[in-house]
Amino acid sequence: MKKSGELPPASQRIATAGAYSPMGGITLAGQLTASEGTGHNPMRLLGSYAVVYLLAGGGDFSDALGRRQSVSAGDLLLIFPDVPHEYGPKPGGQWDEIYFVFNGPVFDEWRSAGLIDPREPIWHAKPVATWHRRFLAVCAGQHEGVSAALLELARLQGVLADFRAAWRPAQARQPEVAPAWLNPVCVELERADVVPDWDRLAAMAGFSYERFRKRFAELKGVPPARYRLMRLVDQAGLLLTADDRPLRVIAGELGFCDEFHFSKLFKQRTGLSPSAFRQQMRR
């Protein structure tokens, strides 16, 4: 089903495939004229990935990592699900934007590889009209469902890849070579049948726990406990489509304390409740 809902005047919702694929999906998209941004103070924690491309005007962007920067037409703001942020036009000013809100393990891998980085949340490329057309084409299809969601996801990745290439920052960070301990630790964290022994995992990496937690977050983009939750929710998506077992059974199998906690985390990550996700994937 197509996305719907009321928006402020001079705004336009962009219809999406209305589904979530195993690799992720676009949950919301639109264009805003005379956008107010998120406002300023307090910072917002979105819970999803998002990109905002400024079409006209300008203002300010800041986040909890210490970034403070003026932005203007041609700037792309990258929003991360665990980084509080705020942005918007200066008092008395305005800007126009096109935006996409999305989620999925494919973008977690982008983040892990350093292709998107919370430390570099602002990219820039022009001409604005050209990139505006590229972004509009992401959700240009007339179809719905999982296959259409995959196509939208591929288009969005293509635009972001081209945008990143056009941006070419003078001092872009290069992805690090993963240390030998990282993959075995990730395998351990993804095991639903074992409660993590954090001290043992830190010892595998050769660090104290605090140093291990910090280094893991640098390499994977999220702390180890958050990484584990994300991967368990991804596993839950596969289990939900495999059979008709009750949610409480799946929640217990994955080590969640109760069905409510599991459902809340699942919806935060996918934009859908477990029941709605199961219905969409079955269709």
What is the domain-level CATH number for residue 198? 1.10.10.60
Does residue 174 surpass a pLDDT of 60? no
Q: Are residues 95 and 223 in the same domain?
A: no
Two tokens, residue 176: 């690090």
pLDDT-derived band at 5 (thresholds 50, 70, 90) equals very low
First to last CA, the chain: 12
Inter-CA distances, 249 with 8, 245, 280, Å: 42, 6, 20
Q: What is the pLDDT of residues 12-65, one digit of tens each?
A: 888 888 777 778 889 899 999 988 888 767 888 888 899 999 999 999 999 988
Q: b or e along 4-13 (b: 16 or more beta carbons within 10 Å of the residue's beta carbon)?
A: eeeeeeeeee
Does residue 4 surpass a pLDDT of 50? no
Query: Number of structural domains, the chain?
Result: 2
Contact status, residue 255 vs residue 192, Cβ threshold 8 Å: yes
Beta strands in the chain (DSSP E): 11-13, 25-35, 39-44, 49-63, 68-72, 75-79, 85-89, 95-103, 122-124
Query: Is the pLDDT higher at 256 or at 280?
Result: 256
Does residue 80 surpass a pLDDT of 70? yes
| pLDDT value at residue 176 | 60
Q: Are residues 42 and 161 in the same domain?
A: yes
Question: Which domain range does residue 100 map to?
Answer: 11-167
Q: Are residues 69 and 163 in the same domain?
A: yes
Question: Which of 167, 202, 227 is where one domain is finished?
Answer: 167
| pLDDT value at residue 21 | 79
Give me the residue label for tokens 């935060």: 268
pLDDT-derived band at 178 (thresholds 50, 70, 90) equals confident
Q: Are residues 36 and 156 in the same domain?
A: yes
Q: Are residues 127 and 230 in the same domain?
A: no
Classify residue 138: in a domain, yes or no: yes
Q: How far apart are CA 91 and CA 203, in angstroms?
A: 51
Classify residue 205: in a domain, yes or no: yes
Two tokens, residue 193: 């049948």
Q: How far apart are CA 31 and CA 53, in angstroms?
A: 10
Q: Are residues 127 and 219 in the same domain?
A: no
Q: Are residues 37 and 160 in the same domain?
A: yes
In the chain, the amino acid numbered 61 is F
| pLDDT value at residue 3 | 40
Q: Are residues 188 and 234 in the same domain?
A: yes
Q: CATH code at 17?
A: 2.60.120.280
Q: What is the mean pLDDT of the chain?
A: 86
| pLDDT value at residue 234 | 83
Q: Are residues 124 and 213 in the same domain?
A: no
Q: What is the pLDDT of residues 194-244, one digit of tens each?
A: 899 999 999 999 999 999 998 998 788 778 998 898 888 888 888 888 888
Question: Which of 118, 133, 167 is where one domain is finished?
Answer: 167
| pLDDT value at residue 53 | 97
Across the range 145-167, mean pLDDT stands at 91
Q: Are residues 18 and 44 in the same domain?
A: yes
Q: Are residues 254 and 140 in the same domain?
A: no
For the full predicted model, state whether its pTM sits above 0.85: no
Quick one: residue 114, left, alpha or beta (phi over 0 = left, psi -120 to 50 = alpha)?
left
Classify residue 249: in a domain, yes or no: yes
Classify residue 4: in a domain, yes or no: no
Classify residue 175: in a domain, yes or no: no
Classify residue 3: in a domain, yes or no: no
Query: Is the pLDDT higher at 20 or at 278?
Result: 278
Q: Which residues contact 193 (CB under 8 A, 6 or more apart)?
A: 255
Does residue 122 surpass a pLDDT of 90? yes
- Partners of 103 in the β-ladder: 25
